[in-house]
Structures are given as structure tokens and as C-alpha cells.
């Protein structure tokens, strides 16, 4: 049987309202954007990130690309510092079966991290903590420490510098901190390179899924 719909009920393609794209997929990770109903709901519920953790930042992509070429051991214990929505950690859980913890000074980012872990089908633990609250003993529990876009003020870059030093006291973790080369990061990286002959500054560029460039400070 052929069903014939009256033409008047069909909108012309040019006038049809298409649903807005509410997420993207990059490096195997699903990333919701601000138009997604669940992100809108969290905002309505009052989870307002106050220290720039209100969205996902691009430097994480530079670390994802690096880790794809230089993967950590399967099941590695990974700490993402200043994790925001936690997508770098979620990438590690998904790609490498990593056991991931994210810490952030701002508790408002936690629900966004939990949501992204859920839509990506992995688990990631969130703790509200500042860089300076992470003790050498706590840091020694991890194999790898990651951070992206977290050195945008001098005081933050200093805190991250001290955290990396503490990480070496009792533990074996190496660190990778990514940044689009803001001055506080550059100064901190120079200091680390001057004090640690094994540390490296790796310049990275991406043209897809976004155009991004920056440095990875790699400290073994």
C-alpha cells in the first residue's frame, strides 16, 4: 500500500528546524556541548564552575594525541589534576583501561565529570582538592599525572611546579602538563627544565578535531 502524505504537512527542507548538534566525538570520547539537555539541566540545577572549568579545553587533545602514540601501561593508575570535565582522564580509562582519579579545586565540575564518564561508559573518581592539598603520599599512589590548561595564573603554575616536585619524593609517577604556552606555564617549564636534565618540552600541533597548538612539559 502506498501512503500519500498531504504536501501541506511537510515543511520545505530549507525551513525545517534541525536539532542542534549537542555533542561531538573526538579521540573516541563523546563530549557534550552546552546545548546538550543534560548539560543544560546541570546548569539549571546551579552547578556553575567558577575557575574556568565551565567547558572542555583544547590542550587535553594534545595530550590525547601524545598518549595514542606513547600509551601508558594497560590499567595504569592515572591522576588528572585540574580535571574540569575530566575528558582527558575519561580518554585514558576508555583507551588504556586506566584507573583514573580527577581532582579539581572547584566541586561544581564534579557532576559534569560524572555525566561524561557515564555517557562514555567508564568510571572515573572525582575528588575536590587543590594542587597544594595533594601530599607526596597521595601522589605516590599514581603512575602518571596529567594536567591540561591549568597554569593560567602565576600562583597556579607555582603550585603545579611544587606538586611535580612532591610527586618525585616518594613516588615514581611521571607528569605531562599541557598548555597553549601562556607566560606562567612557559616560566614554570623553564624552571623545571633547568633543574631536571631528563625533562622535555614537546611542541605539539593539531589540525583536527580542532586547530590547537601548545607545549607538553614531560617530566620523567
Ligand X SMILES: C[S@@+](CC[C@H](N)C(=O)[O-])C[C@H]1O[C@@H](n2cnc3c(N)ncnc32)[C@H](O)[C@@H]1O
Is residue 105 part of the contact set for ligand X (CB under 6 A)? yes
Is residue 53 part of the contact set for ligand X (CB under 6 A)? yes
Cell of 75: 590499567
Which three-class secondary structure state does DSSP give residue 135? coil
Please say which residue, 15 or 150, places its beta carbon nearer to ligand X: 150
Give residue for cell 536539532: 19
Q: Give the interface segment with ligand X, choosing from 92-100, 142-150, 184-192, 202-210 (CB under 6 A).
A: 142-150
Is residue 156 part of the contact set for ligand X (CB under 6 A)? yes
Beta bridge partners of 125: 101
27, 124, 149, 176: which one binds ligand X (CB under 6 A): 149
Please say which residue, 8 or 118, places its beta carbon nearer to ligand X: 118
Q: Give the full edge-to-edge strand order of the sheet including 99-104.
A: 125-128, 99-104, 77-81, 144-148, 174-179, 212-219, 200-206
Please answer whether residues 120 and 29 qualify as being in contact, where contact means their C-beta atoms are separated by less than 8 angstroms: yes
**Among the listed residues 174, 29, 149, 179, the one whose alpha carbon sits nearest the alpha carbon of residue 89:** 29
Please say which residue, 109 or 173, places its beta carbon nearer to ligand X: 109
Contacts with ligand X by CB under 6 A lie at 51-53, 56-57, 59-60, 82-85, 104-106, 109, 130-131, 148-150, 156, 159
Amino acid at each position: 500500500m502506498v501512503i500519500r502524505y498531504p504536501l501541506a504537512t511537510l515543511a520545505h527542507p530549507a525551513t525545517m528546524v534541525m536539532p542542534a548538534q549537542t555533542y561531538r566525538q573526538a579521540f573516541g570520547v563523546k563530549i557534550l556541548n552546552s546545548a546538550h539537555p543534560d548539560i543544560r539541566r546541570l546548569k539549571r540545577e546551579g552547578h556553575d564552575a567558577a575557575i574556568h572549568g565551565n567547558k572542555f579545553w583544547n590542550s587535553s587533545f594534545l595530550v590525547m594525541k601524545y598518549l595514542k602514540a606513547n600509551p601508558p601501561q594497560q590499567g595504569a593508575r592515572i591522576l588528572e589534576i585540574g580535571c574540569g570535565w575530566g575528558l582527558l582522564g575519561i580518554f585514558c580509562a576508555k583507551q588504556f583501561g586506566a584507573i583514573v582519579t580527577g581532582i579539581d579545586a572547584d566541586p561544581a565540575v564534579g557532576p559534569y565529570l560524572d555525566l561524561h564518564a557515564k555517557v562514555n561508559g567508564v568510571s572515573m573518581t572525582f575528588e575536590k582538592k587543590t594542587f597544594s592539598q595533594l601530599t607526596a603520599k597521595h601522589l605516590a599512589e599514581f603512575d602518571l599525572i596529567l594536567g591540561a590548561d591549568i597554569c593560567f595564573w602565576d600562583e597556579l603554575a607555582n603550585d603545579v611546579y611544587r606538586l611535580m616536585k612532591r610527586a618525585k619524593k616518594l613516588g615514581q609517577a611521571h607528569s605531562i602538563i599541557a598548555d597553549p604556552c601562556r607566560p606562567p606555564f612557559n616560566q614554570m617549564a623553564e624552571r623545571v627544565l633547568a633543574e631536571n636534565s631528563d625533562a622535555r618540552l614537546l611542541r605539539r600541533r593539531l589540525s583536527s578535531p580542532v586547530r590547537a597548538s601548545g607545549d607538553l612539559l614531560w617530566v620523567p
